[in-house]
Structure formats: structure tokens, C-alpha cells
Structure 1
Amino acid sequence: MPNLFRKWFKYNLLKSQISLLLFLTITIFLIILIVSITSYNTSKSVLQEQLNDPQQQMLQISMNFIDEVINESNRIATEVALDDHVYEFLTSNEQNSYENITGIYKMLSSFINNSSIIKSIYVYDMNRGSFVTIPHGYSATKKTFVDSQWTDVADELKDKMMIVKKRDVPEGAKNSGSEITLFRKILIHGKFKGLVAINLKEEKLFAKINPPTLTSLDSTRFIMDEQKRNP
């Protein structure tokens, strides 16, 4: 009888030890797993923040650069709108006089030549549908100026003085495809008489967002604060 009790005791003791060992093994495994997952997530979060910092800085620099370009282009558009030759072009009965058109050419050419980001500038007479542009020249009607589909932007301006938008350029125009264009109203005695359109060099406008190693990307990121763009 004592031998039977001893065997029973040893069996239960061994069984308890195995159960305890199994319990401890599972517990330690779960603790290690939880710690590992927590450490991984923490490390991943820290690494992601470190990776995002340069991108956020680059994005902020790019946004600041775009702001500067838009503000400078808007200043130039304002100067064009206030130019005496442009006033004469929009109000004179003989708007295509050689002297006046030449004056507008020189003024527009000066702005383009002194800017690394302006591609071309258009001045549009809303009443007569005529244009003076660099580099296209003078056009008496829309029929003789291929890139004239944008003139309906006047309806979008309404109470705004200026907007910036990406637009399609029709086939047959010198730069067909698309343009990033700043449009500004020309007001004479408080009346909406014309438009200044400044076409920007897209590759330079987004150069800081799309560095040389990313130029093969098809998409272009254009960030705009509508409230800041419409003084």
C-alpha cells in the first residue's frame, strides 16, 4: 500500500511539474511576443517619423516656393493691367496701332526675359475679343489665335481678382498639352474690361517637389490655398 501511494504521489508531482513548466513556457512566450510586437510598433513609428521629417520639410519648402512664384506672378500681372499701353489697347478705337502694340511687346518681353519661370503672357480685350501676346503677337479675333479657349475663365472670376488653374491647351498651339496659368482681371473705371494670363513653366514651378530622381513620375502635385490665392 505504501508503494502504491508513493507511486501515485510521484505521478501527480510529475504531472504538476509538467503542467507548471508548460504554463511558464506559454506565459514567457506570450510575454516575449507582446514585448516584441510593442517594440516593433514603437520602432516603426519612430522610424516613420524620421522618414517623414525630410519629406515634410521638402513639402513645406516647395509650398513656400510656389507661394513666392504665385505672388510674384500676380504682382507682374497687376503691373501689366495698370500699364498705359494696355489701357490704350483696351480703350482706343485704333487699338492695333504700331506704336502702342510695340510698347506692349516691349513691356511683356521685359517681364518674361527677367523671369526664369514665366513662359508667356497674354492680354485679352473682352469687348473686342482681341489679343496681344508674347510670343504669339497681335490677334484681332479668337479665330486667328489658337490658344483662346481659356477666355471663358472670366465667368469663373466673378468677385475674385485672380485665380490660378491648370488648363488644356488645344492642338495646333505652340505649347499644346496643358499650362499652369495665372489669370487676373483688368478693371477700367471699375468695369471688367480685360484679362491678363501668365503661363508658368510647370517643370520649374514643381522642381522642388519633383527633384531630378523623380522626374519620371507621371503625376504632378499642385498645392494651392484658394483663400491665399484670391486677394
Structure 2
Amino acid sequence: MTCKLSVNLNKIALIRNARGRDYPSVESFARKALAAGAHGVTIHPRPDQRHARYDDIAALREVTRAFPGTELNVEGYPDETFLSQVLAAKPDQCTLVPDEPGQLTSDHGWDLTRHLEQVRTVVARLRSAGIRTSIFMDPDLAQIALAPATGADRIELYTEAYAHSPSADTLAPYAVAARKAVELGLAVNAGHDLNLDNLAEFVAGVPQVVEVSIGHALTVEALEFGFDATIRRYVAILGPR
């Protein structure tokens, strides 16, 4: 199974916002990523819009339409402001993440023992608009067992525990979780702190993963290798679009 790369552009947006004008252009870097072989692009607008902004959603939707076969994934906490923007732009995929408003970065998956009804209601709204849905999850079998009840199409495994300390021991829970998700009829995405050094081992050990979303590490690596060349290195690991 070929795993696809979605390039998270939040760090490009963060640099843009630091100077108060459209430089670097998030849209331009989205085009670069897709032209270099990425399958899609991802943004995660937060309530304070400190990096990706809500108006980036519609702009990037137009970019992906210009590259047939590519996709836009929009991540975020499903408050009404976020949902209204997503429903208006209709990205290919919306990944629901249980972030607090001021959270620095995503650091845990959904607790569906507490939030099942909330997530199910949101997923129904998104699916009725024709948007594929994914929910951010820890590699916790008890939680994943609840995921089909949300109606989501996919889960995205939160990979920080493996990426922070890659080993057979830290990889094993992801392999088990991915197998369980597929058995339950869910497709599997993954992301958070994956990079050029640890990605190959991860996708080899968890072959059920169909998409990885990578941004922070990719942007840092691009400072050394160049943006286009870095995308090509990831594509070489994962396989072509």
C-alpha cells in the first residue's frame, strides 16, 4: 500500500505572519509542494490564527483544484467558527483535533468516552457536506474501538511517542492500533514529529497508514536541503503520488 504525503504549511504561515504581509506566500509553497510530488497540503488554523488563517482554507482549496488528484486537509478543533469555514470551503478532508484554544501544539487524541456525541454530531455535519472526516487519536485500543461510532472515515494516529524515541518498542503500539482500526473499517492516517530520519521505519512497521501529515520537521529540514528537494526526499520514502 502506498502512503501519501500531505505537507503541513503552518510553519510557512507562521513566517508569513511575522512580517504582516503575504511573504512567504502559503499558496506559493503549496504549489511547490504539489509540483514536487506531494499528494496534498494540510493547514491547522487555530483560534488566534497565529500561523494558518481561516482565509487560507479557501485559497488552498483553489490551489489543490489546479493539481488534479491532490487534496486539501484542514485540521482543527471543531468550534462553530472553524466548522463554518470548513463547510464553506469544502476541503477534501477535515481532521478533528481536541486542542485547547491556546495550545502550543497538538499533544493528545480524542477521549471518546467523554466526547463521543460531540464528535459524532460534527462528523455528521461534515459528511453531509461531502467532506471526508478523520479524528486525531492516540494508539489506544479502547479508544479506537469507539471510533466507528463517530461515523468518521479515518483516524489519524498521534505519533509523537514514536517520533521522540524511535524503536521497536515505541513502534509496536502503532502497528497494533492501525491493524485494529482497519479491522473496524477505518482508514489510517498518521502525523506529529515524523521526519526524514524516522519515517521509513514507521511506514514499514505500520503499513496500514495511507497518509502522513508532516510540517514542522519538513520545514526545518528544508532549511538544510531546500524545500523542493526535501519534498522529493519524503516522496522517495513513501512512493510517488
Q: TM-score, normalised by structure 1?
A: 0.30
- Compare relative contact order (CA 8 Å, sep 6+) and give the higher one, 1 or 2: 2
Highest Rg: 1 or 2?
A: 1
Q: As a proportion of its length, which structure holds more helix? A: 1
